[in-house]
């Protein structure tokens, strides 16, 4: 029953993230990316600051300013800028498909940075997964959109975030990290806004979109934390890929997107490679 609850929570969280992406894309039709990033960063930081204070956690603990945490925040910035821009400028289905390569990038980074042992099977899976990313991006073909490279940048940022967290002091909680992860988006969004020419008035419609994104993002985060806490990681983690399914449903129904064969095939390759890499790693850990 705990695994079932974990699966449900993971599925709910992925639906929440897909809806957050939908609201961001809708909002991007009315305001620049920098303005969206500032508002979402401030809203997310406020929510997680409240939760952290409720649990008696310090928001300015010394460990929050160590190198691993600062690198994690840098990863959040790169990922935020990359993915929000990708959502605004490219089909939500293709941006989400590229994002699914994050676990492969993390495995690659762990092998390079931490000298983690990666056998030839996982190296092969990483290579095949990257081919899947190229199929979605489609460089040199008629379907190529240069803005899709922002999603690739987001993958690099998320990989940096997830790798840095392995060195984060154990004294820090996920609430503290999440609060600062959102907070650092505010000044970056302000800089982007200044470069792009300034803010636009927030209408009632765009305010509703921003409210939806501000609610769905933290709700999805809470659900994914609960899923991994109450369910076996090996059971619930594969359901992370439901985010792509929900994103494609949103893309087709809300934005009238029609993913081509290359995008669908590339997404399938990315997911298969990611699942294989994860399951292979779990198997090796059990054998040790």
pLDDT tens, the chain, 288 aa long: 778 888 899 899 999 999 999 999 999 999 999 999 999 999 999 999 999 999 999 999 999 999 999 999 999 999 999 999 999 999 999 999 999 999 899 889 988 888 888 888 889 999 999 999 999 998 877 788 899 999 999 999 999 998 998 899 989 988 899 999 999 999 999 999 999 888 899 999 999 999 999 999 888 888 887 887 787 766 787 888 999 999 999 999 999 999 999 999 999 999 999 888 888 877 776 766
Q: Is the dihedral angle over the CA atoms 139, 142, 144, 145 positive or is it negative?
A: positive
- The DSSP letter of residue 90 is S
Q: How many residues does the chain have?
A: 288
Q: Is the dihedral angle over the CA atoms 244, 246, 252, 256 positive or is it negative?
A: negative
What pTM was estimated for this model as a whole?
Answer: 0.91
CB 104 within 8 A of CB 120: no
């Amino acid at each position: 029953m705990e695994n079932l609850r974990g699966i449900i929570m993971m599925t709910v969280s992925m639906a929440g993230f897909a809806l957050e992406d939908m609201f961001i894309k809708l909002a991007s039709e009315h305001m620049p990316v920098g303005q969206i990033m500032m508002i979402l960063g401030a809203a997310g930081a406020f929510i997680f600051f409240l939760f952290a204070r409720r649990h008696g956690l310090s928001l300015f603990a010394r460990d929050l300013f160590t190198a691993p945490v600062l690198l994690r925040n840098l990863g959040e910035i790169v990922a935020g800028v990359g993915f929000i821009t990708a959502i605004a400028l490219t089909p939500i289905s293709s941006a989400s498909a590229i994002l699914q390569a994050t676990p492969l990038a993390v495995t690659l980074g762990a092998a390079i940075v931490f000298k983690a042992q990666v056998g030839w099977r996982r190296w092969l899976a990483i290579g095949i997964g990257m081919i899947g990313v190229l199929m979605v991006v489609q460089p040199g073909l008629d379907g190529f959109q240069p803005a899709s490279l922002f999603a690739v940048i987001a993958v690099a940022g998320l990989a940096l975030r997830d790798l840095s967290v392995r060195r984060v002091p154990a004294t820090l909680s996920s609430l503290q990290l999440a609060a600062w992860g959102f907070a650092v988006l505010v000044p970056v969004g302000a800089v982007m806004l200044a470069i792009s020419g300034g803010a636009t008035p927030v209408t009632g419609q765009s305010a509703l979109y921003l409210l939806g994104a501000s609610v769905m993002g933290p709700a999805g985060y809470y659900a994914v934390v609960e899923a991994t806490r109450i369910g076996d990681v090996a059971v619930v983690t594969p359901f992370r890929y439901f985010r792509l399914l929900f994103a494609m449903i949103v893309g087709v129904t809300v934005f009238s997107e029609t993913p081509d064969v290359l995008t669908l095939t590339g997404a399938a390759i990315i997911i298969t490679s990611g699942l294989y890499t994860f399951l292979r790693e779990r198997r090796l850990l059990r054998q040790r």
